[in-house]
Chains A and B, each alone.
Chain A
Amino acid sequence: MTHISVTVDGTTYEDEVEPRLLLVHYLRDRLGLTGTPIGCDTSNCGACTVELDGASVKSCTVLAVQADGGEVTTVQGLARDGEWTALQCAFHERHALQCGYCTPGMIMAARDLLRENPHPTSDEVRKGLEGNLCRCTGYQNIVRAVLAVAEGETAPAGQAASAREVTA
């Protein structure tokens, strides 16, 4: 067992883990943060994308021991005081999901994309999200949602609030 100290969504955890434990399993099985799903388990689909030390990573392709001393942000760490981020609101408003399985990874990858390129073209959004697969939407509304955030068309508060009531 190897000792790790890792900060996840603002909380620091000290744990003993097997070296072979994947970060995604640590998040889900040890910390109970099941907002990050496991999709393909082959580094392809991007559903498990989280942020490690400020950059998007596929958490099925990082060992928990590699995150030792690091800071992880999952989709569950985005909202502040119950308020969704603009990206989360945009995904809801633009119907950028159907089954929702890819959504946590899409949002984490899109965050990364917008940080590097705050005003992407539609092609740049598609290129930036090429590591994330969605089998429902055909990507159209995902791209629209990301572009809406880039263009500053964030959600009216009322709509976001009603969405939270539905999911609560």
Chain B
Amino acid sequence: MIPPAFDYARPTSLDEAVRTLAEAGEDAKVLAGGQSLLPLLRLRLAFPELVVDVGRIPGLRGVREDGDTLVIGALTTHHEVIQDPLVRRHAGLLAHATETVADPAVRHRGTLGGSLAHADPAGDLPAVVLALEAELVAVGPGGRRTIPAREFFADYLQSTLAPDELLVEIRVPKRDGWGFHYEKFHRVAQSWAMVGVAALVRRDDGHIAEARIALTNMGATPLRAPAAEEALTGAGDAAAVARAAQSAAEGTRPSRDASASPEYRAHLARVLTKRAVLAATGMG
């Protein structure tokens, strides 16, 4: 399958990229690693006039520390995220969940920023940054803007980035000492998650002191599961976790597709929340 024709720009600086996007308006698409955009182009589900390849803009790749925060460049590939010692030490959930994204060849090209900006509710990493309460930094003609993860995902395949804004970095608060796990259910290797659950748990004296649960593919955007988070607080054994996980799908409106009904997705959310929390706490 051959993508539709488009014009191509490869800006060499952030300023040039923002200027190019601002001039092109709604008809431009940003290309980073291309692992989400190229399949859309090949299937002719997207028809951009202009593809702006930001893949070679310097300074947007790599991980650094900024006090209690990790700053991950938007162009950092999944493979680099998985390997990075800072990510592994301070944001284990992100490294662990990224290992489950697609397959090694896709992870060599695909970027963290790209998969977040793509805003696919079936993608694994949107739920992960929601659970981590990360902040996303965008640059546009008006300068830099910091967007909390909970305000970043607007709708199905839609972020709150303006057409002339570029996601440049992801700021992840360090979560040393928190237990974590990402549990997803999918039919075959490298298929999209039917449902996924990101669990981040702080324990205190054998009990759950604080739990963050975020759901993949349980609606048009990734979602937190506040009812389950509240019910998990204070849980001290596997039975209590199992009871709390029963409220994981509360308030969600999952879709129906060829893989699953909304009822089945709700069932999966409950089961996977239990599994994820048990794995995160070591109570299982």
Contact = CB atoms under 8 A, between A and B. Distances in A.
Contacts, number: 81
A42 B5 contact: no
Interface in A7-36: 18-20, 22, 25
B106 A131 contact: yes
Given A19-B51, A43-B106, A61 B38 contact: yes
A111 to B, nearest CB: 11
Interface stretch (B6-14, B143-151, B203-211): B6-14
B106 A58 contact: yes
Interface stretch (B84-92, B97-105, B118-126, B212-220): B97-105
Interface string A50-67: 000001111011110110
A44 interface: yes
B108 interface: yes
Contact of A112 (B7, B39, B104, B189): B104
Contacts of B189: 130-131
B79 A43 contact: no
A149 interface: no
19 contacts: A19-B6, A20-B2, A20-B5, A20-B6, A41-B42, A42-B42, A43-B38, A46-B103, A49-B105, A56-B108, A57-B105, A57-B108, A60-B42, A63-B31, A63-B34, A65-B53, A113-B104, A131-B104, A132-B103
A145 interface: no
Contacts of A131: 102-106, 189-190
A122 interface: no
Contact of A130 (B3, B34, B51, B103): B103
A18 B5 contact: yes
A131 B100 CA distance: 12
Interface in B22-64: 31, 34-35, 38-39, 41-43, 51, 53, 55
B2 A61 contact: no
B129 to A, nearest CB: 23
Query: Which secondary structure dominates where chain A touches chain B?
Result: mixed
Given A46-B103, A61-B38, A130-B103, A22 B10 contact: no
A2 interface: yes
Contacts of A19: 5-8, 51
A22 B41 CA distance: 11
A142 interface: no
- Chain B interface residue bracket vs A: 20 to 34
A20 B4 contact: yes
Nearest to B83: A116
Most buried by A among B2, B35, B39, B103: B103
B109 interface: yes
B258 interface: no
Interface in B157-194: 189-190
A120 interface: no
A128 interface: yes
A109 interface: yes
B39 A42 contact: yes
Given A19-B7, A61-B35, A41 B109 contact: no
Given A61-B35, A113-B104, 15 more contacts: A19-B8, A19-B51, A20-B4, A20-B41, A41-B1, A42-B39, A43-B39, A49-B105, A55-B79, A65-B10, A66-B31, A66-B55, A131-B102, A131-B104, A131-B190
